[in-house]
Amino acid sequence: MDKIELKNLLFLARINAKEEEYPEIIEKLKNTFGLIDEMQDLDLSDLEPLNNPLELSNVSREDKDKDRNEKKKFLDNSPEADEDYFNVPKIIE
């Protein structure tokens, strides 16, 4: 893994790391990649992919609403809000 790949990864995960921390992070990731490589070498052709370790079927609920409007509580608990909206830094695509 080189510096550019790591930067991309850190960006995707929104992890703010300093350049001097990079060697340590790369070292740790190498261990993880080593483990993945070991798994890649296994012959798994007879196995179904495991999507969840729990052998359960998901539950569902009836399509009935709980009519509770907690707008004020939610807005008050957010880092920044006005009386109607959550406020966030300007984002323009």
Partner 1 sequence: MAQNDTLIKGWQPVIGLEVHVQLMTNTKLFSPAKNQFGEDANTLVDLIDLGLPGVLPVLNEGAMKQGIKFGLATNAKIAETMIFDRKNYFYPDLPKGYQITQLHYPIVRDGVVEVNGKKIRIHQAHLEEDAGKSIHDKYDDKSVIDLNRSGVPLLEIVSEPDIRSASEAVDYLKKIHQIITYLDISDGNMSQGSMRCDANVSIMKPEDKEFGVRAEIKNINSFKFVEKAINFEIRRQIKILEANEAVEQETRLYDSIKDETRSMRTKEFANDYRYFPCPDLVPTNISKEFIESVRKDMDELPEEKQQRFMSIYNLNEYDAGVICADKKIANFFEEVVKDADIQLAAKWIIGELNALLNKHDISLDESKIDATNFSELIQKITDNTISGKIAKEVLEEIWATGTKVSEVIDSKGMQQISDEGELENIIETILNENNNQVNAYRSGKDKLFGFFVGQVMKATQGKANPGLVNELLKKKLS
Interacting residue ranges for partner 1, rule: CB under 8 A: 8, 12, 14, 51-52, 54, 56-67, 69-71, 74-75, 80, 82, 84-93
Give me the phi and psi of 81, to 5 degrees please. Answer: -155, 160
- Work out how close the CB of 70 gets to partner 1 at its nearest, in angstroms, rounded to a whole number: 7
Give me the phi and psi of 39, to 5 degrees please. Answer: -65, -35
Comparison of 20 and 83: residue with beta carbon closer to partner 1 = 83
Q: Give the containing element (helix H, strand E) for 12.
A: helix 3-12
- Work out how close the CB of 80 gets to partner 1 at its nearest, in angstroms, rounded to a whole number: 8
